[in-house]
Amino acid sequence: MEAFCPPLVRAPGYKGGMEHATSRASQVASLPEPLQRLWMERLLRLAERVGASGEVPVAAVVLDGQGRAVGWGVNRREREQDPLGHAELVALARAARLLGDWRFNRCTLLVTLEPCPMCAGALVQARLGRVIHGASDPKRGALGGCLDLASHSSAHHHMEVVAGVCADQAQRQLEAWFRRRRRERRQA
């Protein structure tokens, strides 16, 4: 796991700040589009390495209110035979340990693929300020793809959702990975 996780860094040029936060909904600092893409491109590079190890190529990172990475995560379901081993949950758990807090109102989570129902539910429970994802997943995505847990009546917390950052790149990466896996299985 650690082998895949880059050291914690602050994105260059981050201008976000919490000084102007006035309500619960605005507790999360802004993250300009170029920075969203910059983080997503890093995640896609990380996901590529994870894909080469046999996991579905998905990577996630949690940024704190200052724009610092406080938890990275990659899929590790196959490697650890862990049904909870989705990138988002791994990143959340690591961030919670580092911050000593399970509430993420001021944090942003970026992930290369739209979260599944398990992860989307966890993100609402963790009170994420914002979730940004790359590829949409019309079959299993739970932030607007096949259902929308962020705006479900059970969601007691407002979570900003940004979809489609580097979406084409993320989609191509996943499709190539599944194509490769089908080919390998046919040859096995």
Could you give the C-alpha distances from 63 to 16, 41, 54, 70, 129, in angstroms and in order?
A: 11, 15, 27, 6, 10
Determine if 29 is a binding residue for Zn ion (CB under 5 A).
Answer: no
What residue type is 135 in one-letter code?
A: A
| Residue among 116, 131, 132, 166 that touches Zn ion (CB under 5 A) | 116
Determine if 47 is a binding residue for Zn ion (CB under 5 A).
Answer: no
Give min distance, CB of 93 to Zn ion, in A: 13
Q: Where are the alpha helices (DSSP H) in the chain?
A: 33-52, 77-80, 87-99, 117-125, 167-187
- Determine the Cα angle at 71 with ends 68 and 76, to 5°: 150
Pick the catalytic residue from 88, 114, 160, 175: 88
Determine if 119 is a binding residue for Zn ion (CB under 5 A).
Answer: yes
d(CA 45, CA 72): 13
| Residue among 16, 36, 60, 86 that touches Zn ion (CB under 5 A) | 86
- Determine the Cα angle at 57 with ends 36 and 45, to 5°: 50
Give min distance, CB of 160 to Zn ion, in A: 19
**88 a catalytic residue:** yes
Give min distance, CB of 17 to Zn ion, in A: 31
Determine if 174 is a binding residue for Zn ion (CB under 5 A).
Answer: no
Q: Which residues bind Zn ion (CB under 5 A)?
A: 86, 116, 118-119
Please give the positions annotated as active site: 88
